[in-house]
Structure 1
Amino acid sequence: MKQIVEQGLLYDFYGELLTEHQKKIYEAAVYEDMSLTEIADENGISKQGVHDLIKRCTNTLQGYEDRLHMIKRFEAIKLRAEEINALADEEDLPCAVLRDKLKAISGNIIEELT
C-alpha cells in the first residue's frame, strides 16, 4: 500500500515528464490497479515489458525527486499548514505568543521555498 501511495505522489509531481506511452502504462498500473497481464494484453506488449517499463518509470520519477525534492518540500509545507490550523484552534493563546508562533512557522515555510 505504501509503495502505491509513493508511486502516486511521484506521478502527481513528475508524471508530465514521462512520454505518453509511459504515462498510459504507469497510470494503468498505479491508478487503475490493472494487472501486468491486463496491461500487456491491452497494449500489445509482453508482461515482462510492462514490468520493466513500470520499474524504469518509477526509477526515473524517483530520480527527479532525488534531485528536485518537490515532494519533500510539499510535505514540509503541508506540515507547517497543519501547525497553523492547530494554532487557530487554540483559544487561550495570547496574541503576542500567537504572533511569534505564526512568524516562526511562516519563516520555516519561506526557508523551505527558497
Structure 2
Amino acid sequence: MHGQNALEKTNRINVLFDFYGPLLTKKQQTFLKCYFQDDYSLGEIAADFDISRQAVYEHLKRAEQVLEDYEMKLRLAARHDQIQAGLSQLEKQISELQPQARANIQMTIDLLRGAEVNT
C-alpha cells in the first residue's frame, strides 16, 4: 500500500492506538509503535526481535484487527470525532455572538475539550 492509502491507514491505526493501545499485549504495542510510529520496516523489526518478517507481519495484522474490533464495539474514536466536530461547529457559531456571551460559551467549549483530553 502506497501514498494516500498508506497515510490514511497509518493515521487510523495511530488514532485507534491512542484509544485502545493499553488493551493490547506488550508485544502488539511494541510492534505497532515500531512500524506505525517509528517507521521501522518489517525486516528491521524482524531483525530486532529475531523473528521472521512473516511473523512480524502476522503480529501487526492481528494487532490492527484487535484495534478495529475494539472500535467496532466501543466506538470511542468515532465519538471523539463527532464531539470534536460539534465543538468546532459551536466555535464557529459563537464567533458571531456578542463578546461577553462568546467568552462564556468559549469557556464551556474549553471545559468540554479538556474533558476529552483527560479521559
TM-score range (shorter-chain normalised) is: 0.7 to 0.9
Aligned residue type for 2:70: Y
What displacement does 1:31 show? 0.3
Cα distance in 2, alignment partners of residues 40 and 89 from structure 1: 52
Q: Which runs of 4+ in 1 moved over 3 A?
A: none
Once the two structures are superposed, residues 68-109 of structure 1 have per-residue CA deviations (whole angstroms, 9 ceiling, x without a partner) of 1101100000001101110122257xx7xx9xxx8xxx9xx9
Once the two structures are superposed, residues 32-88 of structure 1 have per-residue CA deviations (whole angstroms, 9 ceiling, x without a partner) of 011000011011111000000000000001000000110110000000110111012
Alignment RMSD (CA, Å):
2.1
Unaligned runs of 5+ in 1: 110-114
Cα distance in 2, alignment partners of residues 66 and 91 from structure 1: 39
**2:90 corresponds to 1:84:** yes
**2:36 corresponds to 1:30:** yes
State the identity as a percent.
Answer: 29
Unaligned runs of 5+ in 2: 1-6, 113-119
With CA pairs under 8 Å and 6+ residues apart, which has the higher RCO, 1 or 2? 1
Query: Which residue does the alignment assign to 1:16?
Result: 22
Alignment size in residue pairs:
97
**2:40 corresponds to 1:43:** no
Query: Which residue does the alignment assign to 1:65?
Result: 71
The two structures have a TM-score, normalised by structure 1, of 0.78
What displacement does 1:26 show? 0.9
Structure (1 or 2) with the larger CA radius of gyration = 1
Aligned residue type for 1:53: H
